[in-house]
Structure 1
Amino acid sequence: MPERVHERGPEREPEQEDAAGPGGERGGLLRAFGLAEVYNPSMVPTLQPGDQLVVQYGAVVRPGDVVVLRHPFRQDLLIVKRAVERRDGGWWVRGDNPYVENDSREFGTVPDELVVARAWARVRPPRGIQRSPRAALSWALSAVRPVRPDRSLSRRLRAR
């Protein structure tokens, strides 16, 4: 199953796969940030379908970062992957879900110009209606989390 991203923001995309996109106004600080919605399970357990990502366009990417990128074979499609390491020709990217192989194992390195944004935070939508203040507070405390780089991932993959 292909991955999909939908994005709203400075760069409008016709169709996207792993995540959904930037939301911001044109200009200043808001132009550099946006939202992306995750649609597929390639980043489970880190990200779940339905999660929203706060992304920064043009941010410096380091190994272990979660990034939004254009699919190398279908550039109208945006996907979310983890940047594992720099290689000749670009980034080697992988999903966190070992059962989904729509990543560099399938399409090779991704050129820098196809990396669109870096994920900073995950916002998990509420499941159902929060009927009590306690339930709403519990959701609010767990809904927003930084998307932390997995520095050990690149070391594990290089060791194989």
Structure 2
Amino acid sequence: MFIKISYKILGAIGTLLQYGCVTHCALEYIGDFVVCTGPSMEPTIYSNDVLFTEHVSPRLRRIHKGDIVIAKCPSNPCQHICKRVTGLPGDKIYNGFSTYVVPIGHVWLEGDNHYNSTDSRMYGPVPQGLLRGRAMCKIWPPNDVTIFTTNFIHHE
């Protein structure tokens, strides 16, 4: 009797471990959900909006201008940022009276809320290796579900 119960418990633990590993791999390598905080992407994304992000495009370096991405913050690697790609490698960026050329292996990120965003205008080009995901859609709040496409660029 004890052996039979032990086998059932071990079988259940094994099944849980398998599902846990599959879930971990899916969230790490395919896509996940992100809660955004802060005003830098307003009016496109507000604080506490939930996004679904995919992780394949950044790994394959298939990011385009206009994409909204989640990246590790260059000035604080413990923090993630949500910004729009406004420059790709080789692009000239005009920031006030300065001109930058985005180096190979980097992108230029800016928040849609230019007056309240810490972004590449402050810390410069961001290495593509810091990109974690590309926002596919906003899923929360339900009354503001939005699918993001590359041509969805906010203009002031």
Structure 1 distance, partners of 2:42, 2:122, is 18
Q: What root-mean-square deviation, in Å, do the aligned CA atoms of Structure 1 and Structure 2 show? A: 2.3
Structure 1: runs of 5+ lacking an equivalent: 1-23, 126-139
User: 1 or 2, which has the higher helix percentage?
Assistant: 2
Equivalent residue, structure 2, for 1:109: 125
Instruction: Compare relative contact order (CA 8 Å, sep 6+) and give the higher one, 1 or 2.
Output: 2
Structure 1 distance, partners of 2:41, 2:52, is 15
Residues 102-143 of structure 1: CA distance to partner in whole angstroms, max 9, x if unpaired?
Answer: 000000000010011000000222xxxxxxxxxxxxxx5x34
Equivalent residue, structure 2, for 1:53: 51
Equivalent residue, structure 2, for 1:74: 76
Q: Note closer, same or farther for the CA distance 1:28–1:117 as it changes in structure 2 (3 Å cut).
A: closer
Secondary structure class of the residue paired with 2:84: strand
Larger radius of gyration: 2
Aligned residues: 116
Residues 39-75 of structure 1: CA distance to partner in whole angstroms, max 9, x if unpaired?
Answer: 1110001001111000011312111100000111111
Instruction: Give the CA deviation at 1:26.
Output: 2.3
Equivalent residue, structure 1, for 2:41: 43
Q: TM-score, normalised by structure 2?
A: 0.66
Instruction: Give the CA deviation at 1:28.
Output: 5.1
